[in-house]
Amino acid sequence: MSITCIRNCDWAIIWDRELNRHRYVQSVDVVFSENQITHTGAHYTGPVDKEISGSGLMAMPGLINIHSHPSLEPSYKGIREEHGVPEMYMSGLYERCATLMPDQEGQKACTEVAYCEMLLSGVTSIADLSFDYPGWKELAERSGLRVWMAPWFSSSSWYVDNRHEVKFNWDEAAGWEAFEKSLALIDTLGEDPTSKLSGMVYPAQIDTCKEDLLKASIAAATERGITFTTHAAQSVMEFNIMVQRHGKTPIQWADEIGILKPNSIIGHAIFIDEHSWLHWATRKDLEILVKSKASVAHCPTPFARYGHVLEDFGRYKRAGVNLGIGTDTTPHNMIEEMRWAAILGRVAAEDMFSVTTEDIFNAATVDGAAALLRNDIGRLAPGMKADLILVDLTNPNMRPARDPLRSLIYAAADRAVRDVFVDGTQVVADGKVLTMDIEGACHRVESAQKRMMEKVPSIDYAKRTIGDLAPLSLLS
């Protein structure tokens, strides 16, 4: 049994069980044995196999990312940031999904890049919502991350043949086949209690799945004691489509068919009935989310690029909704997402005190853990998993470190993340990922992006090129 002591950290963020909240301590020893934290206090005198000086460092729990698409998003760098369709309520989601898709080699390369980005920003646990492709499980294992693998399936896919309407290619048989394959993969995960891989049941979007498939999905997740997730209330287009189909909002229909449960994570839930863009008659959705005990995955960056914002983080939280944070787009920088969540939450509320730094930190740690049905991650305390980050307080972007969490979130971000441990194993050292090759993966993503862009005219309904869809930001 190997015992590691991070000796005399200048600062640490530990979990106070009596107060039931994170708190700062200074001059503290953080000790873990194998994959479990055993001590968070001053003057540890027990045996030590490896000692790390905590001088100039802050120890904190690893961050928990509850919604990401690593196999796709890195291929959209330089494309997605300003790609939108005004006629689709300022969204480029549907046109992009219908036209731009990396091949399997590209997906694998994208995943490696995204996993590295997450590790470098202090993420130790992720929900990976991806298509099942060859090598995915092996890459997740090699990353060293704690990964919830969520294989994608649906009853239909989006397509567009104009600039104002989303259409659906329905193939229910294919959806059920993909559902069964996803469960087969999920059932191979987590059989070993020491495994860092887990499964998540993922019918892709509420508008692309039939009611019976959604009901079977929540039943399968509940039977296995695992999490269910889907996208819902993520766009005005989707809101209107669901109202046309069912006469009620996406959240109200989800509640009616029974897919909002304590083991449910709803991706985004931005366009609930009280959102100012909708001018809808009811004000029920927030209460439904609270009563159901479903969690919401908040991913501010991609929506902010469209001009969309959740209204508002503080209101959801005060109402009693459990919110976690995800990196839904590239870059997969969790700390930057935390910053955007805090700032945009205040903008949306027109109140700088609506969202606190503690609220955001909780969302990225203990509240994310709750969404994933775990109570042994997201905290530094004896008995918790040894998932932790060491932040370099001497980094110029952290100084002065009067309040080091604020310095990290609002100034330094990933630049100050020095070391990362997952399950007691070091996976980042001195700002370098030890388990994967980000440089090589970036080269492969560049090649995959070129292949993807070359195919655009043959897929796009108007035979446009990538230059037509996403012109360069400057003349060339």
Determine the pLDDT at residue 194: 57
Determine the pLDDT at residue 191: 67
> Is residue 331 in a domain?
yes
27 and 131 together in one domain: no
CATH number, position 273: 3.20.20.140
> Is residue 469 in a domain?
no
Determine the pLDDT at residue 92: 85
290 and 346 together in one domain: yes
Average pLDDT over residues 404-421: 98
Share of the chain above pLDDT 70, in %: 99
Determine the pLDDT at residue 195: 80
297 and 386 together in one domain: no
> Is residue 466 in a domain?
no
Give 217-263 pLDDT, tens digit per residue.
999 999 999 999 999 999 999 999 999 999 999 999 999 999 999 99
Q: What one-character-per-residue DSSP string does 380-421 give?
A: -STTSB--EEEEETTSGGG-S-SSHHHHIIIIIGGGGEEEEE
Determine the pLDDT at residue 193: 55
Asked if residue 108 lies in contact with residue 114, where contact means CB atoms within 8 angstroms, the answer is: no
Determine the pLDDT at residue 192: 60
Question: Which residues, other chains included, contact 329 with Cβ-Cβ below 8 Å and sequence gap of 6+?
Answer: 69, 73, 76, 80, 299, 301, 302, 305
CATH number, position 49: 2.30.40.10
408 and 364 together in one domain: no
Share of the chain above pLDDT 90, in %: 96
The backbone torsions φ and ψ at residue 280, rounded to the nearest 5 degrees and listed phi first, read: -90, 160
112 and 196 together in one domain: yes
38 and 141 together in one domain: no
349 and 393 together in one domain: no
> Is residue 312 in a domain?
yes
81 pLDDT higher than 80: yes
217 and 242 together in one domain: yes
Give 9-42 pLDDT, tens digit per residue.
999 999 999 999 999 999 999 999 999 999 999 9
Give 340-380 pLDDT, tens digit per residue.
999 999 999 999 999 999 999 999 999 999 999 999 999 99
Determine the pLDDT at residue 90: 85
> Is residue 440 in a domain?
no
Q: Which domain holds residue 324?
A: 63-371
Number of domains in the chain: 2
> Is residue 206 in a domain?
yes
154 and 24 together in one domain: no
- Reduce the DSSP state of residue 315 to 3 states and report it: helix
Average pLDDT over residues 192-202: 85
Average pLDDT over residues 44-55: 97
> Is residue 30 in a domain?
yes
CA distance 432 to 419: 8
406 pLDDT higher than 60: yes
Average pLDDT over residues 317-332: 97
37 and 130 together in one domain: no
> Is residue 155 in a domain?
yes
Q: Which of 106, 122, 13, 169 is nearest to 453 (CA)?
A: 106
Question: Which residues, other chains included, contact 217 with Cβ-Cβ below 8 Å and sequence gap of 6+?
Answer: 179, 201, 202, 203, 209, 228, 230, 259
293 and 351 together in one domain: yes
198 and 309 together in one domain: yes
Out of 433, 449, 471, pick the residue that ends a domain: 433
